[in-house]
Amino acid sequence: MRAMVLESPRAALRLVERERPQPAAGQILLQVEACGVCRTDLHLIDGELPDPALPVIPGHEIVGRVVALGEGVQGFAIGQRIGVPWLGWTCGQCMYCRTGQENLCDAARFTGYTLDGGYAEYTVADCRYCFALPEAVPAIELAPLLCAGLIGYRALAMAGEARCVGIYGFGAAAHILCQILRHQQRPFYAFTRRGDAEGQQFARSLGAAWAGASDEDSPVPLDAALIFAPAGELVPAALRQVRKGGIVVCAGIHMSTIPAFPYDILWGERVLRSVANLTREDGLRFLRIVAESPLRTHVQSYPLAQANLALEALRQGAIQGAAVLVPG
């Protein structure tokens, strides 16, 4: 099979031929239909994530068809469409796993980081961490839901019942999340890089009540601000926009250093917290919301061999919505 492989940090991915993997007990072999390109993949390639399992096949927004079932796999059928997310395995025994916080498991393994992922024609995945996906939606439109959608959903859940929501960084996660907010009739406000008129117009087209630069003031005090851009300087900027008792959620796996900020912008019982990974329950809840919402992902597709081009487009902010690799 063909696969795009990261062999060392800060290197381009290399297209290689590998033996097709075989499913072990409890695993599913699937033929990849589409795999989303996530900013986390950039953090992996840039050496900003510790201890990757190099050489590794990136990609953790996988949509594929079941080709073979390992021993003991139940609940899935040959030919079925399934999704494979970032969280690929947990121990099931630690305090976190036993208390509904498997996303914090210290022994967790992650698709496309410590497990081979979906930048390939085939991959294997633990059946316990796979989701059944609908047939009616094209695979390339489903792929961004497996991380951008899931992490966006978890970030929003951390914001509780917030009505007025600010979104910093209008990329793949934000463009999915804003459609959920619009469906729930919650006004949202988009903050983008200064000068990104195209991104701001995209946000308005998806229902933003306001769109402007990340260093501008919100037209209203925010109940919550969700930060998807990996820029630490956005933390104090967002704290200044939320009301007393409001919450700022940092939704990325990596962020540049947060600069010092005065206590008075945190005071007033404002809350600052992070989101780490996802749980399987997040996935089930999110996919139920997707089924009930008129949600549509905006994607730009690339052939598998052009993964480096897709990653560079993402790095340059040239993707509206999400980039997706198509192996076939």
Instruction: Quick: pLDDT tens for 29-38.
Output: 999 999 999 9
pLDDT, tens digit (0-9, with 9 covering 90-100), for 91-109: 999 999 999 999 999 999 9
Mean pLDDT value of segment 231-253: 97
Kindly report the three-state secondary structure assignment for every residue of the chain: CEEEEECCCCCCCEEEECCCCCCCCCEEEEEEEEEEECHHHHHHHCCCCCCCCCCECCCCCEEEEEEEECCCCCCCCCCCEEEECCEEECCCCCHHHHCCCHHHCCCCEEECCCECCCCECEEEEEHHHCEECCCCCCHHHHHHHHCHHHHHHHHHHHCCCCCCEEEECCCHHHHHHHHHHHHCCCCEEEEECCCCHHHHHHHHHCCCCEEEECCCCCCCCEEEEEECCCCCCHHHHHHCCEEEEEEEEECCCCCCCCCCCCHHHCCCCCEEEECCCCCHHHHHHHHHHHHHCCCCCCEEEEEHHHHHHHHHHHHCCCCCCEEEEECC
This model's pTM is above 0.75: yes
Domain boundaries of the chain, sorted by first residue: 2-146+278-326, 150-274
Are 82 and 105 in contact by the 8 Å Cβ rule? The answer is: no
pLDDT band for position 41 (50/70/90)? very high
Q: Radius of gyration over alpha carbons of the chain, in Å?
A: 19
Angle between helix axes 172-183 and 197-205 (nearest 10 degrees) is 30
**CB-facing half-sphere around the CA of 94: CA atoms within 13 A:** 13
Q: Residue 174: pLDDT above 90?
A: yes
pLDDT of 293: 84
Domain covering 150-274 in this structure, CATH number: 3.40.50.720
pLDDT > 90 fraction of the chain, expressed in percent and rounded:
95
β-strands 165-168, 188-192 pairing = parallel
Are 147 and 174 in contact by the 8 Å Cβ rule? The answer is: no
Cα–Cα distance between 64 and 270 in angstroms, integer?
42
pLDDT of 323: 97
Buried b (16+ CB within 10 A) or exposed e, 159-192: beebebbbbbbbbbbbbbbbbbbbeeebbbbbbb
pLDDT, tens digit (0-9, with 9 covering 90-100), for 182-222: 999 999 999 999 888 999 999 999 999 999 999 999 999 99
Q: Residue 295: pLDDT above 90?
A: no
Interacting residues of 109 by C-beta distance below 8 A, sequence separation 6+: 88, 89, 90, 115
Cα–Cα distance between 211 and 191 in angstroms, integer?
6
Mean pLDDT value of segment 109-132: 98
Cα–Cα distance between 90 and 279 in angstroms, integer?
10
pLDDT of 292: 87
pLDDT band for position 50 (50/70/90)? very high
- Within 10 angstroms of residue 47's Cβ, the number of other Cβ atoms is 12
Interacting residues of 247 by C-beta distance below 8 A, sequence separation 6+: 158, 159, 160, 162, 223, 224, 225, 270, 271, 272, 273
Could you name the CATH architecture of 2-146+278-326? Alpha-Beta Complex (3.90)
* Bond into 55 cis (ω within 30): yes
Higher pLDDT, 295 or 302: 302
Structure tokens, 164: 């007025």
